[in-house]
A and B are shown apart, each in its own frame.
Chain A
Amino acid sequence: MLLNGTETDVLIIGAGVVGSALARELSRYQLRVLLVEKEVDVAFGTSKANSGIVHSGIHDHPGTLKAKLCVEGNRLYPQMAEELNVLYKQNGTLVVARDASECEMLGQLVNQGLLNGVSGVQVLGREELHRLEPNLNPDLAGGLLVPSGGIVIPFDLVYALVENAVANGVQLAVSTEVWQIRWEGGQFIVETNRGMVKTKYIVNAAGLGAAKVAGMIGDESFTIYARKGEEYLLDRRLEGYIQRTVFPLPTPESKGILIIPTVEGNIMLGPTAHRVDSFHDFSTSAAGWDEIFRFTQRLVPGLQASDVITSFSGLRAAGDTGDFIIRPSELNTHFIHVAGIESPGLTAAPAIARYVVELLEDAGLRMTAKRFFNPYRLVVRIRDLSLEDRDRLAVKCPAYANIVCRCEMVSEGEIRDAVRRGATTLDGVKLRTRSGMGRCQGGFCSPMVMRILMEELGLKPEEVTKNGPDSPLLFGNLRDNPSCPEKD
């Protein structure tokens, strides 16, 4: 897609959860909005490898943007998830204490929560704690229960936000990298690999690239560091083994290594939190696993290394201020930074979106609400349907009765939908549908998903990739194919 000459009111750089939430929020108004993403798909950066926790807000320092937007974001989640048909669950957060001295420290967290506006926090004694979660280490002395803590599938949310934004008129351009920005005649001229864009406002939601993008207008007011978090996903056989997200007591550096039940019924262990120099290093390590396993064994001793079905790592974009950096650039008020969105960024995203709308309005952008804004996104998930509904759907569209991924029960219809919804790669299909995310990790379904990608997008075998042009899955056909494209 060429953008040459596109004129827009707001250009959002970066289609992670923040850029996407903002795009959706702006799509409520009569505005031209362009959302650009340098990767081949949305959610392919930091948002892909997030822990998926909807934080309650007890962990953040009172008075910070983090605290304010986390608590607000948390309150916005139920409605947003409902509207967007996103997998979200308020499963509750537990902070556990190992001994009496740690129990005392729980009190400080309760106070912090109160200051931040977190309500309903309960202090649990040993017995109550173990009654709620019988598989916790019996040595744990007590804990806190925060009922508003939740879980969400982070990339599912990003796809939903973007799809809904696009349905409401936002223009999306993936594989689009911003190269240069200059201010000229009261607007920005933005050079990208796909041509030039003119825009009145820019929102810099570029994640790890935010400092670089800021530098394009000469703004060097902050630095972004990459903090790596490794996560390990366990087999769904353990569904329900731990029901609430389990936190240790936080340290000054991090919220610690957690036990996270996912909405889909897996248990996830992680993350580590180590600063790394590279913005491209998504590797996991034996040391990372050792750290996570040793730590989580102390909380839930019954978890086994053999239950791991996959692992991944993400790079969090951390700023240098200790807080989110959400403000207009000092050099140009039409350029809004949304940078350093580390934890609790996923939770805060819907609140950040609203906050940025205010900042844009303050900077002079006129916000006129659209008469028709459709807040809903529909998506078929066979797994969530009753047997009767599945059968009814199959009569209308047989592809929904053809199961391609048996581990996660994903049908051919859902995979074709995912491609039509914007997936162009194996990972794009996987993140949208969960196909290949189960215990066999795509061993069975990936050849079929590759075929569907080829059919739907008219790709040659060598054009099918895992997550972009540098990741080819195949090197053409084994034989020169003399055949006509007849299907058997």
Chain B
Amino acid sequence: MKEQAIDIAVIGGGPAGLAAAIAAAKAGVERIVIFDRQAELGGILNQCIHNGFGLRYFKEELTGPEYAARFIAQLAEYPQIEVKLETMVVELTADKQLITTSRRDGWNLYQAKAVILAMGCRERPRGAINIPGTRPAGVYTAGTMQRLMNIEGFRPGNRAVILGSGDIGLIMARRLTLEGIQVAAVLELLPYSCGLNRNVVQCLEDFDIPLYLSHTVVEICGEGRVTGVKAAPVGSDRRPILERSFMIDCDTLVLSVGLIPENELSREAGVQMEPSTGGPRIDTGCRTSVPGIFACGNVAHVHDLVDDVSEESRIAGIAAAAYVLGEESIANGQKRVKVVPGRNIRSVTPQEIVAGEPSALYIRVAFPERDVVVTAGSHRSKHRIVTPGETVRIVLRPEDIDFNAGVLPVAVEGGEVNA
């Protein structure tokens, strides 16, 4: 075991890591290593066999594996990118030292000049939402279910209830139906779906799968295997109304109850976290609070679209390259503003804007609204509908931002634009 010196360590070989590594290589960085714990690059895209990816980035509709392949193919042009598969980064320090382990190479130490965090996110499990009841087999998170079916080739159930109408839950409703696994119901705690509207149409409505809004699972039943779930409507306080609960027979409960950015390594490295996103606080160059550590993709905030992940990660790669190549001083000298979330804003990423850098803001609202104006500095844009399920992406022009103010208020306002 010896320590190896590298320029950039990219942790995660999914869409974020791939785009970041390629951008950094293009910018002239010599020694980049992508670490991924799976046996192939592409991350979660490999199990996302459905289409709908790439419309923004590639202007065509691709499946997950096809989207990943577009980036993987580019690696051939960049011999400065080394890929370490089936390799897990176990530790990361603020000094950018990494400990990795793999079947092939054993345990290893790397000293990187810069680190790009691109670990993606994980799913919120049953325990985290504390559903009462028994602990039978047949309770799976949607992503695990997707892996069991699309990668492992197993049939994990015969009749399912899906809790959560986020995109993964919706996509899985269709996937299960196509494979002859009946979807008895999709339950959603909120009064609206958390997924893209197109997915409600093409995954549920196409197959007449009932969507129960303002409902949740109040009890899981069954001793060995799930035999059913008890569902109940929820009141406006989102607490279940138990008197109105009803049983739904099923042998499988699929949980699609949220994604959590995977930030164990970021925390170890002492990166400052942003509670509203669950990811590190980043600026428009994807810089975290630790110099030389960058974060992009779902590790920074959960994205609706992989296209946005690629775009953001490209920026992270460029910024990391500048850091490694000693061009960072340009960004250091620039003025910065902190984003300040206002009315109906759950989160805004990035949290800081550096003058002179492209400024796309990803805004997640707190509650759905119609006919609103999104304001950010002097930027004002009209939106017919905003919901927490769909990120609002706005691109600011330099003149929208008052860099002398130090802060940039972002808010959703009702009413018409006074233009």
Contacts and interface: CB of A to CB of B under 8 A. Distances in A.
A478 B138 CA distance: 16
A387 B37 contact: no
A308 B130 contact: yes
Interface string B367-390: 000000000000000000000000
Interface in A373-429: 387-388, 390-391, 394-395, 398-399, 401-403, 406, 409, 412, 426
Contact of B153 (A403, A439, A465, A477): A477
Contact of B107 (A288, A394, A446): A394
A64 interface: no
Contacts of A476: 154-155
Interface in A446-488: 446-447, 450-451, 461, 465-479, 481
A286 interface: yes
Interface in B129-143: 130, 132-138, 141, 143
Contacts of B123: 440, 443
B126 A310 contact: yes
Contacts of B249: none
Nearest to A394: B106
Given A310-B127, A394-B107, A402-B86, A474 B148 contact: yes
Interface stretch (A218-226, A255-263, A276-284, A326-334): A276-284
Contacts of B99: 387
A282 B156 CA distance: 23
B122 A284 contact: no
B417 to A, nearest CB: 38
B225 interface: yes
A475 B134 contact: no
A359 interface: no
Contacts of A447: 144, 147-148, 151-152
Contacts of B147: 447
B400 interface: no
Contact of B125 (A284, A443, A481): A443
Contact of A475 (B104, B133, B151, B156): B156
B76 to A, nearest CB: 21
Contacts of B152: 447, 450-451
A311 B130 contact: yes
A307 to B, nearest CB: 9
A305 B130 contact: yes
A444 interface: yes
Q: Which of B86, B105, B107 has the most CB atoms of chain A within a 10 A radius of its CB?
A: B107
A388 B107 CA distance: 8
Interface in A288-337: 288-289, 305-306, 308-312
Nearest to B144: A443
A360 B102 CA distance: 52
B233 to A, nearest CB: 15
B182 interface: no
B37 A443 contact: no
A171 interface: no
A478 B137 contact: no
A477 B223 CA distance: 24
Contacts of B126: 310, 441
Contacts of A470: 223-225
Interface in B270-327: none
A6 interface: no
B114 to A, nearest CB: 23
Give the interface SS of chain A, mostly helix, strand, loop or mixed: mixed
A284 B127 CA distance: 11
Nearest to A474: B154
Nearest to B149: A478
Given A443-B125, A474-B148, A286 B132 contact: yes
B144 A446 contact: yes
B128 interface: yes
Contacts of B132: 283-286, 288-289
A146 interface: no
A471 B127 contact: no
Contacts of A232: 130
A280 B149 contact: no
A470 B224 CA distance: 5
A233 interface: yes
B118 to A, nearest CB: 15
Nearest to A305: B130
Contacts of A289: 130, 132
A452 to B, nearest CB: 12
A409 B86 CA distance: 14
Q: Which of A281, A284, A310 has the most CB atoms of chain B within a 10 A radius of its CB?
A: A284
B157 interface: yes
A479 B267 CA distance: 42
Contacts of A402: 86, 101-103
Contacts of A281: 134
A401 B107 contact: yes
A471 B225 CA distance: 5
B1 interface: yes
A99 B151 CA distance: 59
B395 interface: no
Contacts of A426: 137
A447 B152 CA distance: 8
Contacts of A280: 223
A473 B101 contact: no
Contacts of A472: 137, 224-225
Contacts of A477: 153-155
A233 B127 contact: yes
B158 interface: yes
A283 B133 contact: yes
A288 to B, nearest CB: 8
Interface string B95-112: 000010111111100000
B125 A441 contact: yes
- Sorted from nearest, which 7 A-B pairs have the closest CB atoms? A470-B224, A310-B127, A441-B125, A466-B137, A394-B106, A471-B224, A471-B137
18 contacts: A281-B134, A284-B133, A285-B132, A286-B132, A308-B127, A391-B1, A402-B101, A403-B88, A440-B122, A466-B137, A466-B224, A471-B224, A476-B154, A477-B154, A477-B155, A478-B149, A478-B179, A481-B153
